[in-house]
Structure 1
Amino acid sequence: MRSSYCENSNFSHGPPRLIVVCDDPKVPAELTPKRVLRGMLARGSGYGIAPPTWTLGKQERRADRPREVKKASRQVQKRLRKKRFCNAESLRLAAKLSRCDRRHRCFSAACPQCARALQRVLVRILAPFLKERVGAELWGTLSIILPPTDPDAEIDFAAERERYQTVLRRAGFTLGVFGLDCTFNEDWRDLNPPKKPFLPHACVHLHGFAPIEDIEAALPLLKKLVLATEAVPRPFHHSAFDAAVKGVAYNFKPSFERRQTIEQFDPRRAKLVRNTRHRPQLTVEQQIRAVRALDQAGLNGRIILLGVHFEIVPTARARTNPQT
């Protein structure tokens, strides 16, 4: 039996609502239709400063506001037009982003304005849905990192989405909400032979939420399906999930970062240990690779839903009781 959670469920009149519909767990997951997400963005959902709100990182920095993402969009356009990386595709994408405004949205996943709006729409509908599910059963977070098939190849979210869906199906997952993230990994360690630093590469990885029972049951299979490498010594990780809005927002964050593997001295162990240094600012080349991949992927290209899907339904009118 299907069940659903509706956005704006407290209103009897208004624009169409986005709902989360629970499917038959035996039905394979399908790609979320672009028209569903584009339909919500076309109505202006997510572009303003209305709730939900959340903070970013350990410093609890507030999320970017419309004026800041417009500035970020202009920076992306400027980088796309740089002579060193300029070509017909880059110029087309820069022109597309430059025309995005309140009267005409570009609906590109590479556009900082539209990507932020999409994140906010997803958080607005999924956060209450997940909170409701967490209240009924224990849910957890799950991260999986598959090594890239070709470190020098362009980022292909469609192919990576298929890889991760295959892993999730083989591990036995039938219910979950997942998103694809991407990091640019660099090895800054000074290693002695025979050890060698891994080559710089873009790595697409999965992060999302599922019932904790399903995660624990899948761990033995994940150990066989997802193997550790020098670049990724811990290819999967899981923890408890409290349905915090911040966690849901991270699942669909619109920007990527650099991860630099370094060695630091640990006074407790009295030796050098491996650590990761996060750098939110991408290089010009990395950002151009990212925005091209995002534009090609589309609004739905980084979303993986198992056992649920999105629908847009008209708002039902409120029933009134006859007066006596």
Structure 2
Amino acid sequence: MDSLMAEPSLSDIYEAEALTKRLKRSASPESLNLASILSQCEPRNPCFSGACIICGRRMQAACCELVDERLRSLAKQVRGRMTSYHLVPAYGMVDVGNLTHRSISAFSKKVFRLLSEAKVSPSAFCIDITLNDMPNTEFKPYWCIHVHGIAVDWPSAEQVYNLKQALTRSSEIKRPVRVEPLDERLEGVAYLFKPERSRRERSLCTPVFGHRGPYHDTHRRALRPQQSVELALAEHDYGLGQRIFTIGISSSSVQYYVGRFKRPPEGLNPFVVGV
């Protein structure tokens, strides 16, 4: 599993180089500092920045290994079942231009409290951030901080109901809670910890032929230059390993698999801290 995702692809390398160039063009002291950090990232001396897709790819592999070695073994002791969680709370919406590490931290605390109170079975979660855009509508583009996760066994109907009661629908977010059985395909687990960042563009489609009425179609697009700079600075300040949080897994196991990706938010050098 490690060999499948730990090494960056050509597209990862291209995206990392493109981000470095955008940071340099931004020319702010923070952007130039981050560009310097990313450009010095090497396999033997990784930067472990939250903005680095190459280090994010390595953490994705480590998280998949954590799932395979720890959560799957727990699942086999129960009924061999696992569940994926996709939570999109309204409090994860942030106006473009206002995204900072504080926004991500505030979201993380709220969603961790929600999942703890829901008594989710042993699980691992990862914070994801996209920019949601709905052209030709009254909605303005916004950052959407959300979370994906994987848990042992299936949740009870009461647990799912409580999550849906806590995270209600809105005009922008139609499906804030999605809980689905997860099979053993590697792609399904890897998606939950993906390092890619994108812009989700939703448009209203009106079919000319047929009986189908108007519907919304969503496409993934690349972030615009200033958007990618804003997100990179926020994720770097927040930290790479800080995006991962677990419930019901021993701290020693978490430290073993993803501890090396954690560092103090204010630090610039890799530093392993306790989980």
Structure with larger RCO (C-alpha < 8 A, sep 6+): 1
Alignment of 1:164-183 (within 5 A): 164-183=111-130
Q: How many Å apart are 1:66 and its aligned residue?
A: 4.9
Q: In the alignment, which residue of structure 2 is the partner of 1:264?
A: 205
Aligned residues of 2:93 and 2:143 also touching (Cα < 8 A): no
- 2:163 equivalent in structure 1: 222
Q: What is the TM-score of this pair, normalised by structure 2?
A: 0.80
Tell me the C-alpha RMSD between the 2 structures. Answer: 2.4
Give the distance between the partners of 1:125 and 1:169, measured in 2 at CA: 20
1:125/1:211 CA distance change after superposition, 3 Å: closer
Inter-partner Cα distance in structure 2 for 1:300 and 1:121: 11
Query: How far off is 1:243 after superposition?
Result: 3.0
1:311 equivalent in alignment to 2:262: no
The one-letter amino acid of 2:82's match is: W
**Paired AA for residue 75 in structure 1:** A
What is the CA deviation profile of residues 234-293 of structure 1, one whole-angstrom value per residue up to 9, with x for unaligned ones?
1111111113221221111111111112112356643111232222x1111111122112
Q: Which runs of 5+ in 2 are unaligned?
A: 258-275
Structure 2 distance, partners of 1:208, 1:268, is 38
Deviation digits for residues 120-173 of structure 1 (CA, Å, limit 9, x no counterpart): 122223234333334342221111101235424214322211121122123232
Q: Which secondary structure does the structure 2 equivalent of 1:81 belong to?
A: helix
User: 1:12: which partner in 2?
Assistant: none
CA distance in 1, matches of 2:139, 2:17: 34
The correspondence of residues 102-251 of structure 1 with structure 2, limited to 5 A, is 102-135=43-76, 136-137=78-79, 138-147=81-90, 148=92, 150-152=94-96, 153-155=98-100, 156-190=103-137, 197-214=138-155, 216-251=157-192
1:299 aligns to 2:231 (yes or no): no
Partner Cα distance (1:217, 1:210) in 2: 16
Which residue number in structure 2 is paired with residue 273 of structure 1?
Answer: 215
What corresponds to 2:4 in structure 1? Answer: 53
| Deviation of 1:219 (Å) | 1.7
Aligned length in residues: 247
| SS of residue paired to 1:263 | strand
State the distance in 2 between where 1:224 and 1:141 align. Answer: 19
Under a length normalisation based on structure 1, what TM-score does the superposition of the two structures give?
A: 0.69
Aligned partner of residue 51 in structure 2, secondary structure: coil
Shift of 1:305: 0.3
Unmatched 5+ stretches in structure 1? 1-49, 55-62, 191-196, 314-324
1:67-97 CA-to-partner distances (Å, cap 9, x unmatched) read 5433322211100011xx3200000000111
Contact 1:80-1:94 within 8 A present in 2 as well: yes
Q: Distance in 2 between matches of 1:228 and 1:287?
A: 28
Is the alpha carbon distance of 1:142 and 1:294 closer, same or farther for their aligned partners in structure 2, counting shifts above 3 Å? same
Over the matched positions of the two proteins, sequence identity in percent amounts to 24
Contact 1:109 1:294 in 2 (8 A): yes
Aligned to 2:262: none
Greater per-residue helix proportion: 2
Q: 1:37 corresponds to which residue?
A: none
Helix, strand or coil at the partner of 1:312: helix
- The one-letter code sitting in structure 1 at the alignment partner of 2:255 is E
Q: Secondary structure at the match of 1:184?
A: strand
Give distance in 1, aligned partners of 2:43 and 2:87.
37
Amino acid at match of 2:99: E
Tell me how far apart the structure 2 counterparts of residues 214 and 295 of structure 1 sit (CA, whole Å): 34
* Residue identity opposite 1:165 in structure 2: F
